[in-house]
Amino acid sequence: MTGGRTVGGETLPGAGGEDADAPDRVVCHVDMDCFYASCERLRHDDLAGEPVVVGMGYEPGESIGAVATASYEARAFGVESAMPISEALELLPRRADADPDDPDAPDPAETGRYLPVDLDFYEEVASEVKDVLRDCADTRREVSIDEAYLDATDRTAWTVAGGGDETDDDPADPPPSGAAGPADARTLAEGYARHVKGRIEREAGVPASVGVAPNMSAAKVASDADKPDGLVVVPPGSVAEFLAPLPTADVHGVGPVTERTLAELGIETAGDLAAADRDRLADELGERGPELSRRAAGDDDREVTPTGLPKSLSRESALPTTADGATKRETVSALAADVARRARERGCLYRTIGIKAVEPPFDVNTRAKSLPGPVDDPDLVEEVALDLLGEFDETPVRKLGVRVSKLDFAETDQATLGGFDAGDAEGGGSGRDRREEADGGDGGKLSDWVGGPPEHGAGDADDDPEGDEGRRRTGEGQASLGDWS
């Protein structure tokens, strides 16, 4: 191990730890703030600072549907995620219904903007966030469209910033932390998290809150502790102290039912839960009881693991808006080569090759061509991608992407390409208005560009529990419309 620094009475090693389960692991939980509302603000400047409600099953002017997410300004009026739109409207009337000249109409200052869910657009923004996370960490668990865990142990360390040798700085006078939360010194891990936050805001245009801690459950709690646009760093040795005063509902994995059960046992805080008799907890809650007690004590040895094999591989590149054919072809050729390289490194074949062309401001077009069988052929990826790009020769674009999908990780013989022209299927679309899907639905759906359809809802009891009911809490975050991974 490299040299370390003393923070909170514990020596914090630098990078180079050999055991992934050691206390010096650096885990970040990235949680997008009111993600759907943030996406809407990205394309509607007039929504800045306004109460915004995004509704599932909602149509403008109607009162049916449910709240998918509410901005913090809307939450101040009592609007919560998963609340019926009709109930939300009683708390926060529509801005369209306000009339300053009508004494019976709502006060404009006490109204909000209601918008229907546009999942295609949110997934487009999510893919930009995902590109940043992929570049910033090799080990990631993308839980949903708006949150992910990163294991950054191989990218940073708990070493105090500026340190690297015991003679560099006075351990008794470390540089102060710039983050909210229990960290009293600025560490390299904090700088890394700031870098991730800054890149997300610059490249995707939406804010994120980040929690940094030695384990997953503490990082999750930390990301919730200073919203919105927060950064909380919890170094090794301070996790239990950080968690102790929090209500049990804040412990990762405690849902409303478990919270009530714990309250009946006289357990109100994470500190109470950490100190509770674990045999008694096991009697009341089964094996989850002792596990929750360990998490409340800051003990969580779960590794950040990917959610499974990808359904597609893609690379995208943002451009200054251009209609120049040579620039577009050069970009697509480079993206095709990179995608094909990644597929070969992962040992997977692919059956479909596609492109994405985004016209300004956010008109997303996809085209795809299906092959008669799985292949590993970088030259073919470039050839097909450039052929599909031909449809956009005269079109100004702000982003281009190349994707291979219908991945096959099994050892199998590649199909010959003799029947390619006769057996291909083409598809694509323009925004949400027209979309012809290739090969039974592959290639035309934006969800394919962020890893495919959901495998589960907001999380399961072990991987991302927002409660023992396996759902998000109302009033925080947003209703889940599908996983990110």
- 22-26, 94-98, 343-347: the lowest-pLDDT one: 22-26
Residue bearing the bigger pLDDT, 454 or 410: 410
Please tell me the pTM assigned to this model.
0.65
pLDDT category, 18, cuts 50, 70, 90?
Answer: very low
Percent of all residues in the chain with a pLDDT value above 90, rounded to a whole number? 58
237-270 b/e with 16+ CB inside 10 Å = b?
A: bbbbebbbebebbbbbbbbeebbebbeebebebb
Residue entry with tokens 């500026």 = 162
The model's pLDDT over 126-174, given as tens digits with 9 standing for 90+, comes to: 989 999 999 999 999 988 889 999 999 999 999 998 754 444 455 567 7
What is the arithmetic mean of pLDDT over 337-359?
90
First vs last C-alpha separation in the chain: 34
Q: Which residue's entry shows tokens 């950040």?
A: 304
Model pLDDT, residue 172: 62
List, in sequence order, every residue forming a beta bridge with 144; answer none if it has no partner.
147
Secondary structure (DSSP) of 432-472:
TTEEE-BTTTBTT-GGGGGTSS-SSSS--TTTS-SSTTSSP
In sequence order, the 6+-apart residues with CB closer than 8 A to the CB of 317 are 331, 334, 335, 399, 400, 401
Assign 411 a pLDDT band (cuts: 50, 70, 90): very low
pLDDT at 149: 96
Return the closest-CA partner of residue 314 out of 349, 340, 345.
340
Tokens 């031909």: give the residue.
390
Q: Report residue 51 as tokens.
A: 């109460």
- Model pLDDT for residues 34-49, shown as the tens digit of each residue: 999 999 999 999 999 9
187/96 Cα distance (integer angstroms) = 48
Residue 295 has pLDDT above 50, yes or no: yes
Exposure class string for 51-64: b at 16+ Cβ within 10 A, else e: bbbbbbebeeeebe
Q: In what order do the strands lie in the sheet with 113-116?
A: 66-70, 52-56, 113-116
The token pair at 259 is: 């919270």
CB atoms near residue 226 (< 10 Å):
16
In this predicted structure, what is the pLDDT of residue 255?
A: 86
For the chain, helix, strand, coil in percent to 5 are 35, 25, 45
User: 280: closest CA among 290, 291, 266?
Assistant: 290
Kindly indicate the confidence band of residue 458, based on its pLDDT and cuts at 50, 70 and 90.
Answer: very low
In the chain, the domains with their CATH numbers are: 35-121 (3.40.1170.60), 248-296 (1.10.150.20), 312-450 (3.30.1490.100)
Alpha-carbon distance of 10 to 122, in angstroms, equals 42
Q: Return the ∠ at Cα 200 (arms to 365 and 112), rounded to 5°.
A: 80
> Using CB atoms within 10 A of its CB, is residue 196 exposed (0-12), middle (13-18) or buried (19+)?
buried
pLDDT grade for 16, boundaries at 50, 70 and 90:
very low
In this structure, how many other beta carbons lie within 10 angstroms of the beta carbon of residue 77? Answer: 17
Segment 89-111 shows an average pLDDT of 87
Q: What's the CA gap between 211 and 193, in Å, rounded?
A: 8
Helix 119-136, helix 35-43: angle, nearest 10: 100
Neighbours of 323 (CB within 10 A): 12
Question: Which of 105-119, 149-163, 219-233, 299-313 is least confident?
Answer: 299-313
Show the tokens assigned to 17. 């730890």
Q: How confident is the model at residue 478 (pLDDT cuts 50, 70, 90)?
A: low
- Per-residue confidence (pLDDT) for residue 101, from 0 to 100: 75
- Predicted confidence (pLDDT) at residue 459 exceeds the cutoff of 50: no
What are the catalytic residues? Answer: 147
